[in-house]
């Protein structure tokens, strides 16, 4: 019986290097804009044609528990310091099965961290401290 796909075992790779694992991921989306235009048939009837327009991609939002790694913070700091061109990197969201074998991959192009959110701290709470990063990019495709 094949291993069922789970949604809890995925990582972020940047430049082929596994940067971090995450507890949540959203925004793995691609969309083609629709252009509508009116056209008259030979009989004079007006119809609306719909044709594909530009491609657009959602920002990818990743959330993970806070640990000692500062890799995401350092990547975001490049943008804050005004070095967006150096911060642009291609990467992948990779889903793994229960044996840690890769089963699916979405590659993004020219990504950079447009937002970083630190943990909400509450001395009376018992939640795990998490951080979020939003990656803005210029293209997404499934490669596996």
Which pLDDT value is given to residue 4? 54
Structural domain spans, the chain: 10-30+56-142
Give me the residue label for tokens 């949604």: 7
What are the CA-CA distances from residue 68 to residues 17, 65, 96 (Å)? 18, 10, 23
Average pLDDT of the chain? 90
Whether CATH 2.60.40.4070 fits 10-30+56-142: no
Residue 3 above 80 pLDDT?
Answer: no
Per DSSP (E only), the strands in 1-144 are: 10-14, 17-22, 24-26, 30-40, 46-57, 60-65, 89-96, 102-117, 130-136, 140-142
Average confidence (pLDDT) over 134-140 = 97
Q: What is the mean pLDDT of residues 3-14?
A: 72
What is the band of 63 on the pLDDT scale with cuts at 50, 70, 90?
very high
């Amino acid at each position: 019986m094949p291993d069922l796909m789970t949604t809890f075992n995925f990582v972020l790779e940047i430049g082929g290097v596994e940067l971090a694992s995450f507890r949540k991921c959203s925004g793995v989306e691609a969309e083609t804009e629709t252009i509508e235009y009116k056209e008259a048939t030979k009989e004079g009837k007006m119809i609306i044609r719909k044709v594909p327009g530009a491609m657009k991609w959602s920002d990818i939002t990743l959330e993970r528990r806070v640990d000692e790694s500062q890799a995401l913070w350092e990547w975001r700091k490049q943008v804050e310091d005004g070095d967006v061109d150096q911060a642009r990197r291609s990467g992948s969201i990779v889903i793994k099965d229960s044996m840690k074998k890769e089963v699916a991959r979405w590659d993004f192009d020219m990504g950079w961290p447009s937002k970083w959110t630190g943990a909400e701290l509450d001395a009376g709470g018992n939640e795990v401290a998490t951080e979020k990063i939003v990656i803005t990019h210029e293209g997404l495709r499934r490669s596996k």
